[in-house]
Structure 1
Amino acid sequence: MLEFAENQSTDRVTLFVNVILPLAISRLYTYRVPFELNNVVAVGKRVVVQFGKSKLYTAVIDEITTIAPEKYEAKYLMEVLDDRPVVTSQQLDFWKWLADYYLCNTGEVMAAALPAALKLASETRIMLNPDGNFDRSLLHDKEYLIVDALDIQPILSVSDIVKLLGQKIVMPVLKSMFDKNIIHISEEVSERYKPRKRSYIKLNPLYNEADMRRELFVELERRAPKQADALLAYLKLSRNQSLVSKNDLMEESGVSAAVLKALSEKEVFIIEERNVSRLYYDEFEMGANFELSPAQSNALDEIRDHFIQKDVVLLHGVTSSGKTELYIRLVEEALHNGKQVLYLLPEIALTTHVIERLRKYFGNDIGVYHSRFSDNERVEVWQKVLNHEYKVVLGARSSVFLPFDDLGLVIVDEEHETSYKQFDPAPRYNARDAAIYLAGKYQAKVILGSATPSFESYFNARTGKYGLTELTERFGGVSLPEIEVVSIAEEIKRKVIQSHFTSVLMTDIQTALSNKEQVILFQNRRGYAPVLICRVCAFTPKCINCDVSLTYHKSSSHLHCHYCGYKEDNINVCPACGSTHLEYKGFGTEKIEDDLQVLIPDSRIARMDLDTTRARNAYQNLLNDLEEKRIDILVGTQMVAKGLDFADVTVIGIINADSLLKYPDYRANERSYQMLAQVSGRAGRRGKQGKVVIQTYNPQHRVIDQVIRNDYKDLYLTEIDERKNFKYPPFYRIINLDIKHKDADKLYQQAEYLAIELRKHFGDRVIGPEYPLVGRIRNFYIKSIMLKFEKDGVSIVKVKSVIRDIIVQFQTTPLSKGCIVQPDVDPY
């Protein structure tokens, strides 16, 4: 950042700012600073700039300089939005590292990192606030014009308002109207969004003395009994909580708001409006009363010892071994040292489950951050982290972008999960790896936790790069679940299978239900039936945008594409041959749920998959119902495998293990073991040994045997040699290039040309181009090129620089018109 001596005025110095725009452009862009804003600009502040002919964007200042751009004339920036930086210098460095490592642009990182309410573009929508009460006669001319236009057209963009007012700088007007509660902005320009208010009741200090309260109560009971009820309820509630909310008081006393208003007018009660967090409302008692088991204590000591020499420690603990308790102790130590903590979880859904456990120990010091929050909520967490109000942040992968100042500990729970990987859009980052780099910038420690670690992390631990701590027994001495493998083929042969449920699984389900216990059934496919096929001509309905068959969903009676979202009505007559002989092949969670309701009609069955958890609180509601035993059988996809801990779940059924084991990918065995072991780990927690039934056509499969023996090391040792021989991670780095075009012939030419250019530099490290499993998605045909680079003796920084140059050179050729090239570093 440009610095000036204290006695040197910057008022008339010509300053320029290099800014990051939230766009996929490869360079920073330079703007001139108006003299009147010279003392306002600072690195990390947001500014409104014009880019292109008329588009307005929010940009972040990356550098302040006196050097004008050589190739173009710098436009003036229009406005500085912040009183102080909202992005720290550490974050800007982190953004640049992400862009370099994952072969994308810093603007793409910015677009992913900043909450929408901190970004602005010409397309940002403006509308009248339906709850806004304002006097139109008090509006200024420009405000009146905007309100009048919104009466005619309910939604306007910022660019519409620029045209309406005939001026480019409209944001001050819009901010003023927003602050006056006149308009609603879909992506708020500043941090001064409308806070959530809550009414709290206080007793007038005049009545602090017991005698005064007694006298008041007698008077109210005689003249206004309802008001006396309200006072009595207040005194009861105020014993256990420092603040009494208006809603709680009305519920406890049974009185109306009018009664409380009357007491306020009598100056008995004082009603205060307070800003409250959108994230939590309840006051939690803090405490950490739990005792660690001897095994946990030893593991904690071992982690501390590793942290003396290592920055990263892998905690390999079997399911239900008590890893969360160790995390809590490590968080306590970090907070004691005045440090901030980032606690990453792989799924948005899991945060709601884990937060209840952690908040018992850390109260309101802990914040939650993920993409299901509204724009206002995400900004609120962002500001609280920036202001050091949140010392612990629990969140999904996007939490790595928060503005930490003094990070001391990063916890990556279930570090093996693929959910940490962002697939679309760029940056295609892995939050686990990004968090390790981020921690390094702060000299923070990292703990990676998993019952089934990724091979990369386990390899790094075994070779000494990371510390390794193992927990081999379940907390409280609970036994690992009994696992029984059942041959589907044998059950079909004996004619004892019912629908998709073997006789063994059905017996175990009914036994659990008769004992008032619960069951979880896992099927890694949603929908009712993956394929609808004509028995006469073999016609199968396919997506019009993608090369995949449509999945039938009984709940909507539609055929759905799980790639692009396209759907169409179900068919009863084959459109190809006119036959009515159509049948469903395969089955998903919806079919399992439907069949169970026929086979066990008295049981309470629920389904947990993407279709049933789209609503914001749907996942948490399902978990609450399961915990409070309003659900007997939960049917779900991989969501049920992740971190759930319920005392009465004693039977786990894996409906079809073969769908995992036969996936055409070099990680298939690793992923299958992880999924089967994690699902199995949901059974028999908290004092009860559980039972797991694995249904398969191949009961002798090696991975199933390793799951039964809970032998992760055997899996690792048998797989790692193959990884080395066939040049896969952790011995090699992989970079994929997906080439996309709407014309299949042009795609072929482009992909071949790009592969030839890459081979000129990298030789046989270049594999392809080949069609992926799904060769067309959203009307784009796809070809993939895989590049493999050995970790020893090759500079990956130079490799990525060459790849960037080749892509840029390719994009300058006429051949590349209409083509999209998407690099994906560490794609799996």
Structure 2
Amino acid sequence: NLSVQLEFSPTVLKSLEKRGLVVIEEEEVERDPFAQRGGISTTRLKPTPAQQRAIDEMADAEKGSVFLLHGITGSGKTLVYIELLRRIVDERGQTAIVLVPEIALTPQTVDRFRAAFGDRIAVLHSALSEGERYDAWLALKRGDKRIVVGARSAVFAPLENLGAIIVDEEHESSYKQGETPRYHAREVAIVRAKAEGAITVLGSATPSLESWANAESGKYTLLRLPDRVGGGKLPSVEVIDLRRTAVDYTAMAQGGVDYGAVIREPLHHAIVETMSRGEQSILLLNRRGYSSFMQCMDCGAVATCPHCSITLTLHRNPERLICHYCLHKEEPRPDCSRCGGRNLKQRGLGTQQVERLLCERFPAARVARMDVDTTSGKWAHTRILDRVAAGEVDILLGTQMIAKGLDFPNVTLVGVVDADVGINLPDFRASERCFQLLSQVSGRAGRGAKGGRVLIQTRLPGHHAVRYAVAHDYVSFVHDELQGRIDPPYPPNVRLANIVFSGLVEDSTAKLAIHAGEWLRELITTRAGNEVTVVGPAPCPIERIKSRWRWHILLKSDQPGELTRVSRYFMERFEVPSTAQMRVTLDRDPVALL
């Protein structure tokens, strides 16, 4: 493109064309978003006996088979995927889809597949421009590309002669699309693979309880990778009990919290020792921003979003109070909006504040922060991870996105600043998500020959999610968690349908939900007997989002067909008034109830 290379306006070319001095020709050029990363070459690794058994069993399986590949962190699940694809794509001439959570779709992940399959790989994810996505889609449609690696929507890629769909980190909630049309990419993958005579592989170190239950019942075939490749060992995990070294950092002065209140002595010494050896550390805090909220110490009032039932999070650079649901922004007030007092304090802790504390304590250290705020630009997270891989970062601090898909041999320390974030949310999956996050981030340590160490700071050392994550004991965690979902019943013991009512007027929304609850109970009594249970109606845990008041009704049943019939009949027949802009939405098999 001359106008780009020589930095002049396209109108100059047009005028030259009019004078007959140049001829302009257009040709179709495929946009390659990964051209800047150059060629990738790696030594082909030989599978271990356990990996080879898994590859052979999946490659020789009947059409439509579903496998749950349970491999501990560092067990080489990606190598299993690649060698399976060689059998399916190279030997049989078929095509394949590899789904990866958006948060884990790192350059490292893509590079490993590109190294194995070159330009036969197409990548689909949100960082691409519309043009780049179009080119990838077209190449798949034409058959120029045989494998697609992408986030959840890649499950719909236009591939023919499909041989396999691989769902990596199958437990990730981001595979469920929350907006209409709602779908769970894992479930779509299974249905599509069966319809097209392909196999489905669900891979995870911490499978969802639903998938584990399906494997135990024989619906899926369970394959295990119990050991790390190369004889590596899982890192040792230690707990730092924040109650025994308690510091009330939330009630400290406006200037912020003290480093020692955030990074306790054992974790601090571990960071110092790690840097002294020229090794790298990862620190997890699954809460972005600077402080969780601002509170008046005279009357207790907290700065809340005017459109949502949620507190505003303090961010720096620029200093703003931001709602993480509707993105409302406002400047912090010097006085309390309720009592006018000026005794305002920052409460809670976010990644921005921890970054400041680390930079102040270790001025010579190279600290990188990785969260939504630092990775919003195109390829932003690629640049951060490339710096880590090149050894240009001593401490990588971030939210849950640093817990997925990273493989850095020089990372020997993982520290969890606050393991309790999210553990007590009013959601039946809160403990499961906490266990998965702690297990996944622990797996980032010691992936090389040097071994690794994990330190978890918590006020709940006895919580089963923490105890079993420390012990690397997934099976015991699942057993305990399943027992807790018997009474009251929750998935995988039953299936759910969450009906959410929202409107601009609080009272009208509540009345609609109450009327719907009565309507549903009468319907179920006459048509479904005791096969479907109605729970609610009740206000949603977050009562208001984007100025809309929210109530919900939860339907439970161990008969999926009956649950489908009742929920479908309700959505088709229940009359929703047009006043107050009422909306009713149905979320089948919800991944969260907030």
TM-score (norm 2): 0.90
2:176 alignment partner in structure 1: 421
Structure-2 change in CA distance of 1:494 and 1:796 (3 Å):
closer
1:532 matched to 2:294: yes
Q: CA contact under 8 A between 2:51 and 2:80: conserved in structure 1?
A: yes
Q: In the TM superposition, what is the alpha-carbon distance from 1:573 to its structure 2 partner?
A: 2.5
2:575 alignment partner in structure 1: 810
2:107 alignment partner in structure 1: 352
Q: Which moved more, 1:524-533 or 1:340-349?
A: 340-349
Letter in 2 for 1:476: G
Q: 1:799 aligns with which of 556, 566, 579?
A: 566
Hey, what's the Cα distance between the residues in 2 that align with 1:737 and 1:316? Answer: 33
Letter in 2 for 1:559: L
Hey, what's the Cα distance between the residues in 2 that align with 1:689 and 1:288? Answer: 23
Hey, what's the Cα distance between the residues in 2 that align with 1:816 and 1:407? Answer: 48
Structure-2 change in CA distance of 1:416 and 1:555 (3 Å):
same
1:772 matched to 2:540: yes
Hey, what's the Cα distance between the residues in 2 that align with 1:733 and 1:823? Answer: 14
Q: CA contact under 8 A between 1:348 and 1:372: conserved in structure 2?
A: no
Matched residue of 2:336: which SS? coil
2:448 alignment partner in structure 1: 686
Q: In the TM superposition, what is the alpha-carbon distance from 1:483 to its structure 2 partner?
A: 0.4
1:436 matched to 2:190: yes
Hey, what's the Cα distance between the residues in 2 that align with 1:522 and 1:282? Answer: 28
Hey, what's the Cα distance between the residues in 2 that align with 1:317 and 1:650? Answer: 21
Hey, what's the Cα distance between the residues in 2 that align with 1:344 and 1:733? Answer: 24
2:254 alignment partner in structure 1: none
User: 1:426-469, CA deviations, whole angstroms, 9 ceiling, x for partnerless residues?
Assistant: 01211111111111121100111000000111111111001000
1:393 matched to 2:148: yes
User: What is the identity percentage for the equivalent residue pairs of Structure 1 and Structure 2?
Assistant: 37
Matched residue of 2:401: which SS? helix
Hey, what's the Cα distance between the residues in 2 that align with 1:546 and 1:419? Answer: 22
Hey, what's the Cα distance between the residues in 1 that align with 2:432 and 2:269? Answer: 31
Hey, what's the Cα distance between the residues in 1 that align with 2:519 and 2:580? Answer: 17
1:754 alignment partner in structure 2: 516
- In structure 1, runs of 5+ residues without a counterpart are 1-128, 139-179, 182-191, 197-274
Hey, what's the Cα distance between the residues in 2 that align with 1:137 and 1:303? Answer: 59
- In structure 2, runs of 5+ residues without a counterpart are 1-7, 19-23, 250-257, 526-531
RMSD: 2.5
Structure-2 change in CA distance of 1:285 and 1:573 (3 Å):
closer
Map 1:707-726 → 2, pairs under 5 A: 707-726=469-488
Q: In the TM superposition, what is the alpha-carbon distance from 1:287 to its structure 2 partner?
A: 7.4
Matched residue of 1:788: which SS? strand
Hey, what's the Cα distance between the residues in 2 that align with 1:451 and 1:130? Answer: 53
Matched residue of 1:579: which SS? coil
User: 1:570-621, CA deviations, whole angstroms, 9 ceiling, x for partnerless residues?
Assistant: 2222233332211111001111111111222221111110011000110000
1:586 alignment partner in structure 2: 348
Q: CA contact under 8 A between 2:232 and 2:449: conserved in structure 1?
A: yes
Hey, what's the Cα distance between the residues in 1 that align with 2:38 and 2:396? Answer: 31
TM-score (norm 1): 0.65
Q: CA contact under 8 A between 1:318 and 1:451: conserved in structure 2?
A: yes
Q: Which moved more, 1:505-514 or 1:752-761?
A: 752-761
Map 1:516-555 → 2, pairs under 5 A: 516-555=278-317
Matched residue of 2:224: which SS? strand
Q: In the TM superposition, what is the alpha-carbon distance from 1:703 to its structure 2 partner?
A: 2.2
Matched residue of 1:315: which SS? strand
Map 1:445-524 → 2, pairs under 5 A: 445-492=199-246, 498-524=260-286
Structure-2 change in CA distance of 1:285 and 1:530 (3 Å):
closer
How many residue pairs are counted as aligned between the two chains? 563
Q: CA contact under 8 A between 2:33 and 2:128: conserved in structure 1?
A: no
Q: CA contact under 8 A between 2:58 and 2:84: conserved in structure 1?
A: no
Hey, what's the Cα distance between the residues in 1 that align with 2:199 and 2:17? Answer: 59
Hey, what's the Cα distance between the residues in 2 that align with 1:361 and 1:717? Answer: 38
1:820 matched to 2:583: yes
Matched residue of 2:105: which SS? helix
1:637 alignment partner in structure 2: 399
Q: CA contact under 8 A between 2:106 and 2:382: conserved in structure 1?
A: no
Q: In the TM superposition, what is the alpha-carbon distance from 1:708 to its structure 2 partner?
A: 1.8
Hey, what's the Cα distance between the residues in 2 that align with 1:319 and 1:599? Answer: 32
2:327 alignment partner in structure 1: 565
Hey, what's the Cα distance between the residues in 2 that align with 1:561 and 1:285? Answer: 41
Letter in 1 for 2:114: R
Hey, what's the Cα distance between the residues in 2 that align with 1:762 and 1:676? Answer: 41
Q: CA contact under 8 A between 1:731 and 1:791: conserved in structure 2?
A: no
Hey, what's the Cα distance between the residues in 2 that align with 1:610 and 1:285? Answer: 28
Q: In the TM superposition, what is the alpha-carbon distance from 1:797 to its structure 2 partner?
A: 4.3
Structure-2 change in CA distance of 1:817 and 1:569 (3 Å):
closer
User: 1:265-324, CA deviations, whole angstroms, 9 ceiling, x for partnerless residues?
Assistant: xxxxxxxxxx5534436764777621112232233334346x248610000000000111
User: 1:807-827, CA deviations, whole angstroms, 9 ceiling, x for partnerless residues?
Assistant: xx413xx46661111111111
Map 1:21-420 → 2, pairs under 5 A: 131=10, 134=14, 195-196=28-29, 277-280=32-35, 284=39, 289-304=44-59, 307-308=61-62, 311-335=65-89, 336-347=91-102, 350-420=105-175
1:39 alignment partner in structure 2: none
Q: In the TM superposition, what is the alpha-carbon distance from 1:195 to its structure 2 partner?
A: 4.6
Q: In the TM superposition, what is the alpha-carbon distance from 1:493 to its structure 2 partner?
A: 7.3
Hey, what's the Cα distance between the residues in 2 that align with 1:348 and 1:703? Answer: 22
2:3 alignment partner in structure 1: none
Q: CA contact under 8 A between 1:750 and 1:816: conserved in structure 2?
A: no
Matched residue of 2:261: which SS? coil
1:169 alignment partner in structure 2: none
Q: 2:367 aligns with which of 605, 608, 612?
A: 605
Q: In the TM superposition, what is the alpha-carbon distance from 1:670 to its structure 2 partner?
A: 1.3
Structure-2 change in CA distance of 1:513 and 1:536 (3 Å):
same
Hey, what's the Cα distance between the residues in 1 that align with 2:71 and 2:227? Answer: 8
Matched residue of 1:484: which SS? strand
Matched residue of 1:771: which SS? strand
Structure-2 change in CA distance of 1:488 and 1:283 (3 Å):
closer
Q: CA contact under 8 A between 2:556 and 2:563: conserved in structure 1?
A: no
Q: CA contact under 8 A between 2:105 and 2:150: conserved in structure 1?
A: no
Q: In the TM superposition, what is the alpha-carbon distance from 1:781 to its structure 2 partner?
A: 0.6
Matched residue of 1:327: which SS? helix
Q: In the TM superposition, what is the alpha-carbon distance from 1:724 to its structure 2 partner?
A: 3.0
Q: 2:496 aligns with which of 725, 728, 734?
A: 734
Hey, what's the Cα distance between the residues in 1 that align with 2:294 and 2:456? Answer: 27
Q: CA contact under 8 A between 1:741 and 1:780: conserved in structure 2?
A: yes
1:744 matched to 2:506: yes
Q: CA contact under 8 A between 1:311 and 1:444: conserved in structure 2?
A: yes
Structure-2 change in CA distance of 1:390 and 1:582 (3 Å):
same
Structure-2 change in CA distance of 1:443 and 1:732 (3 Å):
same
Q: Choose between structure 1 and 2 for higher RCO, CA contacts under 8 A separated by at least 6 residues.
A: 2
User: 1:23-66, CA deviations, whole angstroms, 9 ceiling, x for partnerless residues?
Assistant: xxxxxxxxxxxxxxxxxxxxxxxxxxxxxxxxxxxxxxxxxxxx
Hey, what's the Cα distance between the residues in 1 that align with 2:174 and 2:248? Answer: 40
Q: CA contact under 8 A between 1:349 and 1:619: conserved in structure 2?
A: no
Q: In the TM superposition, what is the alpha-carbon distance from 1:532 to its structure 2 partner?
A: 0.4
Letter in 1 for 2:441: V
1:577 matched to 2:339: yes
Q: In the TM superposition, what is the alpha-carbon distance from 1:326 to its structure 2 partner?
A: 0.6
Hey, what's the Cα distance between the residues in 1 that align with 2:64 and 2:423? Answer: 36
Hey, what's the Cα distance between the residues in 2 that align with 1:130 and 1:539? Answer: 57
Matched residue of 1:760: which SS? helix
2:417 alignment partner in structure 1: 655
